[in-house]
Amino acid sequence: MAENSQETDEQLLDRIGRDVLLAQERKRGVLAFRSAVMFMAPAAFIVSAVLLFPVVYNVYLSFTKWKRFKGYDEFAGFGNYERLTTNHFFTEAFANTAIWVAASITLPLLLGLGLALLLRNVPGEGLFKTIIFIPRILAPTAVAVLWYYVYAPDGIVNWFLGLFLPGDVDIGWLYQDNTITPSIIATFVWQSVGLVMVLILLGLAAIPRDPIEAATIDGATPFQVFRHIVLPLLSPTILVVTILSVLAGFTAFDLLWVMGTSYPGQRTLSLAVFMYFEAFQKGSWAFGSAIAVVIGFVVLSVTWIQALLQNHIDKMTK
């Protein structure tokens, strides 16, 4: 029967014309492809013009000798990258950025997680969440200016400490080696913790109640529930938060630039500040572009490692 049916099909194809059918199929495919290209074209154009082209162009610039008005079209090979390896400001900037990344991952995450757990289902939850989230909607530069005055020698912080300490409190929070980085990090945490808290609250809301209730009935303590159920189920949210924090840490600029302006040392020199300083202040565009490429490469690498870790965690928890 099958052979007869196949023969019938073959006969049918012969009668209609196999080539005609194939041509019609190809035409439909071409039309579908053209439609898809037409619909994608605006988005593809915008992504290429706004995102891809500047990135590719920046990589190109990093291989030139462009400095102020000269060297725009002169090829430097890997000269700018070699210069990075011997520049001690780059080493300082890299070390400071590492501190920033570590702080921007751990502190907002721990505080955001704590606040999210603390504020869930408590009276006035909405008000508290709003208050904690407000700093996030302020421009980082405005926040930096605000805290610049808070930390001023005659600012609120010293005034407040003066209520408890003897004599005049005259700490130059933004003028001392040992206080400037913690002070700016505290400002960063103040501004970023609201968003982290909201993201974690969304993650918590998405966790099903069944496994938690089952574990509770089986006698699990709240910590055990958190450790073995909530935390693993929250890991996708935590991954998103850490990726955002890594990006924020590596690109830290506004707060450091504004609050560290008057500070002379290299403590506030992050990779992003170093890049801006070289490119915009000195006009070493090619060298600045090389720093930007390094930042991009490091961020991509770290994010890729995070994604691998997440895959690993997912497999372990299944």
Partner 1 sequence: MTFKTKIAAAVLGAGALWASGAAADVELVHDKGFWSEALQEMGDAAGEMTGNRIIETAYANPEQYKAFIYTSAASDDMPNMFTWWTGGVYEDLVDTGQIAPLDDVWDAMIARGDFDAGLRDFYSVGDHVYGVPLHLSRWVALYNKEHFKSVGLDEPQTWEDLVEDAAKLKAAGITPFHATTQDGWRGFIWFQEIMIRTNPEAYAGLHDGSVAYDSEPVRAAFEIWSDWYQKGYFTDPRSNDEVADFARGEGAIYLIGDWAVGLVEAAGMKSGEDFSAFIVPNMDPKLPSSTILEGAPLVLSVAGMKDPDTLAGLEFFVSVDGANAWAKASGNSIGNANAEAPNAIVEKINADVAEKGTIAIDRWWEAVPAELQGEFVAEFNRFMLDPTMDTAEQVMSNLQSLNEEYWAEN
The site for partner 1 (CB under 8 A) is made up of 66, 68-70, 72, 89, 148, 152-153, 172, 175, 261-265, 276-277, 279-285
CB of residue 139 vs partner 1: minimum separation in angstroms?
14
User: Are residues 251 and 272 in contact, defined by beta-carbon separation less than 8 angstroms?
Assistant: yes
Stretch (H or E) spanning 110: helix 88-119
Six-digit token pair at 168? 């005049």
User: Are residues 183 and 256 in contact, defined by beta-carbon separation less than 8 angstroms?
Assistant: no
SS3 state at 260: coil
CB of residue 263 vs partner 1: minimum separation in angstroms?
8
- Give whole-number Cα distances, 197 to 143, 194, 318, in Å: 19, 5, 27
Q: Which is nearer to partner 1, 26 or 282 (CB)?
A: 282
Residue corresponding to tokens 């603390």: 118
The amino acid present at 309, given as its one-letter code, is: L
Q: Which is nearer to partner 1, 4 or 281 (CB)?
A: 281
CB of residue 215 vs partner 1: minimum separation in angstroms?
56
Q: How many CB atoms lie within 10 A of CB 94?
A: 17
Residue corresponding to tokens 């980082």: 140
Residue corresponding to tokens 């709003």: 130
Rg (CA), the chain: 28
Tell me the C-alpha distance between 286 and 279, whole Å.
Answer: 8
SS3 state at 75: strand
Q: Which is nearer to partner 1, 166 or 264 (CB)?
A: 264
CB of residue 78 vs partner 1: minimum separation in angstroms?
17
CB of residue 223 vs partner 1: minimum separation in angstroms?
47
CB of residue 214 vs partner 1: minimum separation in angstroms?
59
Q: Which is nearer to partner 1, 172 or 236 (CB)?
A: 172
The amino acid present at 243, given as its one-letter code, is: I
Q: Which is nearer to partner 1, 64 or 191 (CB)?
A: 64
Q: Which is nearer to partner 1, 24 or 141 (CB)?
A: 141
User: Are residues 254 and 140 in contact, defined by beta-carbon separation less than 8 angstroms?
Assistant: yes
CB of residue 189 vs partner 1: minimum separation in angstroms?
24
Q: Which is nearer to partner 1, 250 or 263 (CB)?
A: 263
Dihedral sign, Cα of residue 263, residue 267, residue 273, residue 275 = positive
